[in-house]
Amino acid sequence: MQIPENWLIHQDATPLNENDPDMLRVHSIETFGTHDGPGIRMVIFAQGCQFRCLYCANPDTWDVKGGTTKSIDEIVQMAIKEKPYFGKNGGVTVSGGEPTLQRSKLLQLFTKLHAHGINTALDSNGKLLNDEVKALLSETDYLLLDVKHFNDDWHHTLTAVSNQSVLKVAEYRESTGKPMWLRYVLVPGYSDQEEYLHQLGAHFKNYLTIEKIEIQPYHLLGAHKWEAMGLEYKLKDIKPPTAEALQKTAAIFKQYFKEVKIN
């Protein structure tokens, strides 16, 4: 798979759009989301990502110069209009791509959302952890941490990068005492090995901040985007996990986590 040079990002990349401190680079925005944090949420999909997941459903989010720009105040006003629908638990989730590439912008956004009593959630791949990310996490009510695989070699196969930073982000979040959800994509033949599912559970079983783990069934819905972009989709012959496989994984996770959900 050939990736254009301008799509590649160093793991400690400078935050995007530093010349436009009030603008966020966005792939898309979804209203009435129900799968990205508690309650009904407005979900902002940020542009740019350092992972190259084999099953990525939105490879068009990789390019750091793609998408469109929206002002932070515009996004806040959108959220205020949606606030009546959020209810007690809903709010705004920023997903991606990888949101922490725009961490300084999101810190502004989350601070302003909190000023209006709006709950915040961050869906992150856990690649970055520095002082700016820690500041953002302090304004993040829910961290949705994507753990692609517990075994580092398999994680590299799936994403092209190590999982060590992901585990460090989880450890840091635990130290803050703030809520966290784990998310795990179940890919037959790639992330369904029982021994590693048990290892993941054992690693996190004593974490007090983890409220649940969500199993995300692998699907082929984004394969057409790879083809449209001239990229090879290497998992085209992999079928989604069966109901039996999903229940088997859930049964393993239930030995370690207080809540397990299949999305």
pLDDT digits (tens, 9 = 90+) for 180-230: 999 999 999 999 999 999 999 999 999 999 999 999 999 998 899 999 999
pLDDT reported for residue 6: 40
For 225-245, what is each residue's pLDDT tens digit?
999 999 999 999 999 999 999
Return phi, psi of residue 262, to 5°: -100, 115
Minimum mean pLDDT range among 158-167, 219-228, 245-254: 219-228
Higher pLDDT pick, 2 / 39: 39
pLDDT of 179 strictly over 50:
yes
The H or E element containing residue 171 is helix 164-176
Please state, rounded to an integer, the average pLDDT across all residues of the chain: 92
pLDDT reported for residue 221: 87
Residue 172 to residue 129: CA distance in whole angstroms: 9
For 103, residues 6+ apart whose C-beta sits below 8 A from its C-beta are: 15, 128, 132, 133, 135, 136
pLDDT reported for residue 19: 58
pLDDT reported for residue 2: 42
Mean pLDDT computed over 160-172: 97
Mean pLDDT computed over 172-185: 98
Mean pLDDT computed over 117-132: 97
For 36, residues 6+ apart whose C-beta sits below 8 A from its C-beta are: 43, 93, 95, 121, 123, 144
Which of 172, 261, 155 is closest to 211 using CA atoms?
Answer: 261
For 173, residues 6+ apart whose C-beta sits below 8 A from its C-beta are: 137, 143, 145, 180, 209
Residue 229 to residue 246: CA distance in whole angstroms: 31
Domains of the chain: 5-14+25-262 (3.20.20.70)
For 3-31, what is each residue's pLDDT tens digit?
444 444 433 444 445 556 789 999 999 99
pLDDT-derived band of residue 122, with 50, 70 and 90 as boundaries?
A: very high
Residue 139 to residue 85: CA distance in whole angstroms: 22
pTM, whole model, 2 decimals?
0.92
Mean pLDDT computed over 137-158: 98
pLDDT reported for residue 15: 46
pLDDT of 61 strictly over 70:
yes
Q: Tally Cβ neighbours within 10 Å of residue 51.
A: 21
